[in-house]
């Protein structure tokens, strides 16, 4: 999990490794639910399907 600032707000990156194939739509819904609870932008990344994770972001880290 990583928390960094970009453009005045904080973003939470959370990576996970799913035992089963994950549905991108379900992951998006879960990210939205977490974002509402945390009141921060949330990015969820399934490491099983991710080839390149966060090498380039819209802001420098």
In this prediction, residue 55 carries a pLDDT of 52
Count the Cβ atoms, other than its own, within 10 Å of residue 11: 19
In this prediction, residue 60 carries a pLDDT of 46
In a domain, 58, yes or no: no
In a domain, 51, yes or no: no
The number of folded domains in the chain is 1
In a domain, 17, yes or no: yes
Assess contact for 13 and 1: CB atoms under 8 A: yes
DSSP-derived 3-state class of residue 13:
strand
C-alpha closest to that of 16 among 52, 50, 47, 55: 47
Q: In which domain, by residue range, is 6 found? A: 2-46
Strands 9-16 and 2-6: antiparallel
Q: What angle do CA 20, 52, 40 make, to 5 degrees?
A: 80
In a domain, 40, yes or no: yes
Q: Mean pLDDT for each 10-residue chunk of the chain (61 residues)?
A: 55 86 90 92 84 51 46
In a domain, 8, yes or no: yes
In a domain, 57, yes or no: no
């Amino acid at each position: 999990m990583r928390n960094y600032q970009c453009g005045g707000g904080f973003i939470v990156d959370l990576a996970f490794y799913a035992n089963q194939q994950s549905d991108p739509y379900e992951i998006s819904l879960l990210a939205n639910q977490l974002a509402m609870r945390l009141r921060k932008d949330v990015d969820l990344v399934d490491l099983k399907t991710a080839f390149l994770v966060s090498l380039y972001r819209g802001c420098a880290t």
